[in-house]
Structure formats: structure tokens, C-alpha cells
């Protein structure tokens, strides 16, 4: 994990140095940073909604697991230049996926296995969330239709470095209780596919991960998809 962190940290530092030192082309948009004559550098931050699908029928929270998605690309490179219709892109970033339960069920562990715990009284449950953090590398094709519109499509390789559960509930005396549980039984590497439609620098994205998010012996065979905005 330390080597992986050093790789991303070093990549971010190199990207920042290149971006700050590279002169901007006079004829290009001042909001864009050009490295050389045909490589564009950018950064991006995304907010969206995550959904967990493909859960077995025995899970009472099937179809109810969803939450906020946060992503940050600290380096985006587009080869081809701003005036080039067809571009290849490479991104380096991080992401925090969150899946929440709000009815009468919470995420919990039994011998490190992810299990649903149902509360007899739904009012006793306040919040249950499972979060997965990852570093990622994205790549793909980008079609620039005009100065206003662009479309991109490609895979994202996620290096999932951690997961944890956070629960809040009320006990029999009506007192608020909370717990945080480190889990770490997510798959180390997952691949998702992203399509993004851009308008005036704002991107509407859809991401789908067809591969199981959890290790087979510790969690359900669940897949995920996300939808949101990238700025």
C-alpha cells in the first residue's frame, strides 16, 4: 500500500510541476493548461449517487443500498490538443463510494462476514453506511464535437485500499449509539466503465462496475453503478 501511495503522490507532484511550468498557448482558452503543443492538463471533482445491485434475495436490504459518491481527479491528461476532435485521455484520482441503509436494517459483521441485521422497530435505526475508498487510473477515448460539447468513454481501474462500516441507532433507553468498524474485505482491484457527456466544462457521468465489489467468502456478490456530475 505504501508503494501505491508513493506512486500516486509522485504522479500528482509531477503533474502539478508540469502544469505550473508549462506555458499556455496564446490562442487557447485561458482556463485550460497546455503541456507542449497537443497535451491538455486539467483537474476534476465529482459528486454523485452510488447504487449497489445484484444482491441475493436473502439480504433484506437488497435494492435499498445507495449513497453519495465523491471523486477527485488530481491529474487529467488529454492527448490531441483543444482543437483536435479525437483525443485519448488518462486520469489519476481517488474515490469514496458510500452505500447507506435507512429503513430497519444495518450493515454488520459476523466473523468478518458482511451480514444484514434487522431491527424489530425501524424507529430505532438512525443510519447505516458502508464506505469503500480507492485510488484509480482511468483511460479512454474522448470525442470533442464543438467548443461546448464533448463525449468520453473508457475503463477505470480502482485500487480499493479500505472499507469501513458506520452505524447509528437508539438503544432501549432511547440513547443514541454509534460504532465504526474497519472491514477491509473488499476486492483489491475492480474495473468499472464510465461514459461522460460534457457541456461547457460540466460533465454528466455514468459508471458501472460489473465485477463483485466484495471478496466472495466475506460478502454478497454485489456490483455497483454511479451517476453524477464532474466539474
DSSP per residue, 138-182: EEEEEEE-SSSEEEEEEEEEEEEEEEEEEEEEE-TTS-EEEEEEE
Residue 19 has pLDDT above 80, yes or no: no
Q: Which domain holds residue 192?
A: 2-230
- Cβ atoms of 64 and 101 closer than 8 Å: yes
The per-residue pLDDT for 229 is 97
Q: How would residue 120 be classed by pLDDT, with cut points 50, 70 and 90? A: low
**b vs e for 125-162, b when ≥16 Cβ sit within 10 Å of the residue's Cβ?**
beebbbbbbbbbbbebebebeeeeebebebebebbbbe
Average pLDDT along the chain: 82
The per-residue pLDDT for 138 is 97
Helix (H) or strand (E) holding 21: helix 2-21
Residue 84 has pLDDT above 50, yes or no: yes
Residue 150 has pLDDT above 80, yes or no: yes
Backbone angles phi, psi at 3, to 5 degrees: -65, -40
Residue 104 has pLDDT above 50, yes or no: yes
> How many structural domains compose the chain?
1
Share of the chain above pLDDT 90, in %: 48
The per-residue pLDDT for 130 is 92
Q: How would residue 98 be classed by pLDDT, with cut points 50, 70 and 90? A: very high
- Cβ atoms of 142 and 78 closer than 8 Å: yes
Residue scoring higher pLDDT (210 or 15): 210
Contacts of 12 (CB under 8 A, 6+ apart): 74, 75, 92
Q: What is the CATH number of the domain that holds 120?
A: 2.40.160
Look up the pTM and report it.
Answer: 0.80
Give mean pLDDT, residues 34-40: 75
Give mean pLDDT, residues 195-220: 94
C-alpha cell at 161: 485500499
The per-residue pLDDT for 116 is 80
Residue 209 has pLDDT above 70, yes or no: yes
Residue 20 has pLDDT above 60, yes or no: no
**b vs e for 106-115, b when ≥16 Cβ sit within 10 Å of the residue's Cβ?**
bbebeeeebe
Residue 70 has pLDDT above 90, yes or no: yes
Q: How would residue 32 be classed by pLDDT, with cut points 50, 70 and 90? A: low
Residue 190 has pLDDT above 90, yes or no: yes
Cα dist. 138→67, 88, 214 in Å?
A: 22, 11, 21
Q: How would residue 44 be classed by pLDDT, with cut points 50, 70 and 90? A: very high
DSSP code string of 178-212? EEEEE---B-SEEEEEEEEEEETTEEEEEEEE-S-
The per-residue pLDDT for 15 is 46
Amino acid at each position: 500500500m505504501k508503494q501505491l501511495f508513493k506512486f500516486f503522490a509522485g504522479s500528482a507532484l509531477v503533474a502539478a510541476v508540469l502544469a505550473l511550468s508549462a506555458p499556455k498557448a496564446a490562442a487557447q482558452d485561458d482556463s485550460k493548461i497546455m503541456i507542449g503543443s497537443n497535451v491538455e492538463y486539467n483537474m476534476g471533482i465529482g459528486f454523485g449517487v452510488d447504487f449497489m445491485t445484484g444482491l441475493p434475495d436473502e439480504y433484506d436490504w437488497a435494492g435499498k443500498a445507495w449513497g453519495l459518491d465523491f471523486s477527485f481527479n488530481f491529474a487529467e491528461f488529454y492527448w490531441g490538443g483543444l482543437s483536435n476532435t479525437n483525443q485519448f485521455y488518462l486520469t489519476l484520482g481517488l474515490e469514496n463510494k458510500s452505500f447507506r441503509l435507512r429503513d430497519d436494517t444495518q450493515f454488520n459483521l459476523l466473523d468478518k462476514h458482511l451480514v444484514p441485521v434487522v431491527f424489530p422497530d425501524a424507529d430505532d435505526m438512525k443510519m447505516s453506511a458502508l464506505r469503500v475508498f480507492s485510488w484509480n487510473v482511468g483511460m479512454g477515448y474522448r470525442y470533442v464535437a464543438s467548443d461546448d460539447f464533448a463525449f468520453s468513454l473508457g475503463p477505470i481501474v480502482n485500487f480499493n485500499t479500505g472499507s469501513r462500516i458506520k452505524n447509528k441507532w437508539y438503544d432501549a433507553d432511547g440513547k443514541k449509539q454509534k460504532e465504526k468498524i474497519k472491514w477491509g474485505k473488499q476486492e483489491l482491484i475492480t474495473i468499472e466503465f464510465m461514459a461522460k457527456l460534457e457541456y461547457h466544462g460540466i460533465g454528466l457521468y455514468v459508471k458501472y462496475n460489473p465485477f463483485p465489489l466484495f471478496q466472495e467468502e466475506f460478502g454478497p456478490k454485489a456490483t455497483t453503478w454511479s451517476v453524477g456530475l464532474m466539474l
